[in-house]
Amino acid sequence: MQKDLKRCVAYHGHLCGGLLMGYRAAKVAMKELKSSFAKDEEIVAVVENSSCFVDAVSVLTGCTFGKGNLIFKDYGKMVLFLLSRQTGEGVRVSFNRENYDKSYPDFPALMNKVMDGKADRKERELFKKIKKEREKVLIKEKDSRLLFIKKVKMPLPPKARIFKSVKCDICGELAMEGRLKKTKKGNICLECLEK
């Protein structure tokens, strides 16, 4: 196992398909942009899911929610946009599911059965076997067969800002100023508004 993949596994806690997809997407995106690890906001990652995928993207690119250069769009896709603030260039990486999934078309149903605790011993063993085979494909397959890689131009998001904290007039907790709503009851945090 490569050193950078070991770092991803150590951060995430285990090896899995989602982590490997994020690893492959981040590696190729960094290579395409000729980028190095972001110490600050030199590069921006936009991810379209909140799965294991994102952990590998963070470890390899240096893009994190804390620095404000990791942006989440809840589209449920294994997609990564990586953008360079220095060059204005970007790359979009997605998966060629046909080449990846064609050997195991029933795997999602089997995985759900295992995760729901409804699989018998034979099905659990088959799941483990196929999972390992799929992981090998994700590690060894050529980028050109596994990934769609496309250069993109898109507006860069603004740099991260630090907002003043303001007390919610219902719960008394501090929230970012831009996340409170002014109501007849005062400044209310979004959590209290949801209740």
Mean pLDDT computed over every residue of the chain: 91
Euclidean distance between CA atoms 147 and 143, whole angstroms: 5
Angular region, 91: left φ>0, alpha ψ -120 to 50, beta rest = beta
pLDDT, tens digit, 9 for 90 and up, residues 4-21: 999 999 999 999 989 999
Q: Domain residues for 145? A: 3-152
pLDDT at 137: 85
79 and 14 inside one domain? yes
Whether the pLDDT of residue 3 is over 80: the answer is yes
Listing DSSP states for the chain in one string gives: --HHHHHHHHHHSS--HHHHHHHHHHHHHHHHHT----SSSSEEEEES--SHHHHHHHHHH---TTTT-EEE------EEEEEETTT--EEEEEE-HHHHHTT-TTHHHHHHHHHTT---HHHHHHHHHHHHHHHHHHHHS-HHHHEEEEEE--PPPPPP-PPPEEE-TTT--EEEGGGEEEETTEEEEHHHHH-
Whether the pLDDT of residue 117 is over 80: the answer is yes
pLDDT, tens digit, 9 for 90 and up, residues 83-112: 999 899 999 999 887 766 667 778 888 989
pLDDT bucket at 127, cuts 50 / 70 / 90: very high
pLDDT at 195: 85
Q: 159 lies in a domain?
A: no
Q: 114 or 102, which is more confident?
A: 114
pLDDT, tens digit, 9 for 90 and up, residues 150-185: 999 888 888 888 889 999 999 999 999 888 999 998
pLDDT at 101: 66
Residues 6+ apart with CB under 8 A from 101: 107
90 and 143 inside one domain? yes
141 and 54 inside one domain? yes
Q: How many domains does the chain fold into?
A: 2
Most confident of 55-59, 162-166, 184-188: 55-59
95 and 184 inside one domain? no
Whether the pLDDT of residue 1 is over 80: the answer is no
The residue written with tokens 């898109």 in the block is: 154
pLDDT at 100: 66
Check which CATH number belongs to the domain holding 24 and give it.
Answer: 3.30.1330.130
Whether the pLDDT of residue 59 is over 70: the answer is yes
33 and 96 inside one domain? yes
